[in-house]
């Protein structure tokens, strides 16, 4: 057996039928219960919902009413809530998961109030609570039985979800991993400065605006307080040289790399400075000018001066 509901829309009467489908050899569908005057004439029934015990039926109509029906006595509604404006043909109503309340939303015109979600007690049909959602109509609503959270859809395109921090499970709570940080309120006492330009000198405060300005100029001239960058070198001091780099080691390495002097022949390197040393004796000769004896060199004989070779050389040449 399968029970379904059919409600009439857009006709001169607002009605709905309850069908009981019995699957036999021949399929026959006949209405079991019907209510031709469920809501006002010329209005639409926007939503029908069963309670979880399947004995009660809630209906939301375009005549601004919310009605509760007992299927066992379907002639007239058990309870009726009025003055619930509805401008849309899909305004929802729904039973709570514990089957104790019936919820629905109300519609408002633009800039004329706030759309609300209303909660009615199933037994007494008294308004238990209400939630002010937004400045637009509340059209769709869903109370999830497992998550225990309410999803509300508004006419302005907003979707809002309401949950209980302890009774709800997962859902929106998965997005709330971190709690909202509490803003630390800083307490301080502001020392207001009173400017008294005509005060006697002995009573003047040193932290005046003029004094602070002059102190700032003085600190600006101090390289330490103003953090002045180091100026380029004009002469080498403290193990630092101008050419080649910042340190002595970088200068020496650069000079070694640049100097392409060939020192493979030391004798030639020394004799290269012989002529300059003889003409301008600066390093050695002046140092030993007083203590150095007169140099005596060996006299050259006439035979050594002659260009003719000796007899032994002649014999060798002759042979």
pLDDT tens digits for 263-288? 677 788 778 877 887 788 777 777 77
Which two structure tokens, joined as six digits, stand for 275?
Answer: 């002529």
Q: Which residue has the higher pLDDT, 94 or 5?
A: 94
Find the range with the poorest average confidence among 2-11, 87-96, 137-146, 281-290.
2-11
Cα separation, 126 vs 145, whole angstroms? 22
pLDDT band at 317 (very low <50, low <70, confident <90, very high): very low
Q: What is the pLDDT of residue 11?
A: 45
The 10s digit of each residue's pLDDT in 113-154 is 899 999 999 989 999 999 999 889 999 999 998 999 999 999
User: Has residue 8 got a pLDDT over 70?
Assistant: no
pLDDT band at 199 (very low <50, low <70, confident <90, very high): confident
Cα separation, 296 vs 284, whole angstroms? 18
- DSSP for 2-22, please give it: EEEEEE--SSSSEEEEEEEEE
Among 152, 64, 155, residue whose Cα is nearest residue 109: 155
Q: What is the pLDDT of residue 104?
A: 93
User: What is the mean predicted confidence (pLDDT) over 22-49?
Assistant: 72
Q: How many residues does the chain have?
A: 319
Q: What is the pLDDT of residue 1?
A: 41
Q: What is the pLDDT of residue 245?
A: 55
Beta strands in 125-264 (DSSP E): 127-134, 138-144, 149-154, 159-162
Who's near 13: CB < 8 A, 6+ residues apart? 36, 37, 41
User: What is the mean predicted confidence (pLDDT) over 308-313?
Assistant: 50
Using CA of residue 246, residue 252, residue 255, residue 256, what is the dihedral sign? negative
Find the range with the poorest average confidence among 130-139, 150-159, 165-174, 250-259.
250-259
User: Has residue 246 got a pLDDT over 90?
Assistant: no
Highest mean pLDDT among 134-143, 179-188, 296-305, 307-316: 134-143
Cα separation, 129 vs 51, whole angstroms? 19
Cα separation, 177 vs 172, whole angstroms? 10
Among 212, 28, 100, residue whose Cα is nearest residue 19: 28
Q: Which residue has the higher pLDDT, 11 or 105?
A: 105
Q: What is the pLDDT of residue 314?
A: 47
CA angle 120/40/4 to nearest 5° reads 70
User: Has residue 109 got a pLDDT over 60?
Assistant: yes
User: Which residues, in sequence order, are bridge partners of residue 48?
Assistant: 59
For the purposes of burial, counting CB atoms within 10 Å of the CB of 103, is it exposed (0-12), middle (13-18) or buried (19 or more)?
A: buried
The kind and range of the H/E element at 217 are helix 209-221
Q: What is the pLDDT of residue 45?
A: 84
On the CB side of 287, how many CA atoms lie within 13 Å of its CA? 3
User: Has residue 12 got a pLDDT over 50?
Assistant: no
User: What is the mean predicted confidence (pLDDT) over 26-51?
Assistant: 76
Cα separation, 269 vs 288, whole angstroms? 24
274 phi and psi, to 5 degrees? -70, -45
Q: What is the pLDDT of residue 149?
A: 92
Tokens 């070779």 identify what position? 309
Cα separation, 40 vs 63, whole angstroms? 5
End-to-end CA distance of the chain: 149
Which two structure tokens, joined as six digits, stand for 191?
Answer: 């020392």
User: Which residues, in sequence order, are bridge partners of residue 101?
Assistant: 121
For the purposes of burial, counting CB atoms within 10 Å of the CB of 112, is it exposed (0-12), middle (13-18) or buried (19 or more)?
A: exposed
Find the range with the poorest average confidence among 3-7, 13-17, 85-89, 108-112.
3-7
User: Has residue 311 got a pLDDT over 70?
Assistant: no
Q: What is the pLDDT of residue 96?
A: 92
CA angle 152/156/159 to nearest 5° reads 30
Residues 64 and 82: beta-carbon distance below 8 Å: yes
Q: What is the pLDDT of residue 300?
A: 65
């Amino acid at each position: 057996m399968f029970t379904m509901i059919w409600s009439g829309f857009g006709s001169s009467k607002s009605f709905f039928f309850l069908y009981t489908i019995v699957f036999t050899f021949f399929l026959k569908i006949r209405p079991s219960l019907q209510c031709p005057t469920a809501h006002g004439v010329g209005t639409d029934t926007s939503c029908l919902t069963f309670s979880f015990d399947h004995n009660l039926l809630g209906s939301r109509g375009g005549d601004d009413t919310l009605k509760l029906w007992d299927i066992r006595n379907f002639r007239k509604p058990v309870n009726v809530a009025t003055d619930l404006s509805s401008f849309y043909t899909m305004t929802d109503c729904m039973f709570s998961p514990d089957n104790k309340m019936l919820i629905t939303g109300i519609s408002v015109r633009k800039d004329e109030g706030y759309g609300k979600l209303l909660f009615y007690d199933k037994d007494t049909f008294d308004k238990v609570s209400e939630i002010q959602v937004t400045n637009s109509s509340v059209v769709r609503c869903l109370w999830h039985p497992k998550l225990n959270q309410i999803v509300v859809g508004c006419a302005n395109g907003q979707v809002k979800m309401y949950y209980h921090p302890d009774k709800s499970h997962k859902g929106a709570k998965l997005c709330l991993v971190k709690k909202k940080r509490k803003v630390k309120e800083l307490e301080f006492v502001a020392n207001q400065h009173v400017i008294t330009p005509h005060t006697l000198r002995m009573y003047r405060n040193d932290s005046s605006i003029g004094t602070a300005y002059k102190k700032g100029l003085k600190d600006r001239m101090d390289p330490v307080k103003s953090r002045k960058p180091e100026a380029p070198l004009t002469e080498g001091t403290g193990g630092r040289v101008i050419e080649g780099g910042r340190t002595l080691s970088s200068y020496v390495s650069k000079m070694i790399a640049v100097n392409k002097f060939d020192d493979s022949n030391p004798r030639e390197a020394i004799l290269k400075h012989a002529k300059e040393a003889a003409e301008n004796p600066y390093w050695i000769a002046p140092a030993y000018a007083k203590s150095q004896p007169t140099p005596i060199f060996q006299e050259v004989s006439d035979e050594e001066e002659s260009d003719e070779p000796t007899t032994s050389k002649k014999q060798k040449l002759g042979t």
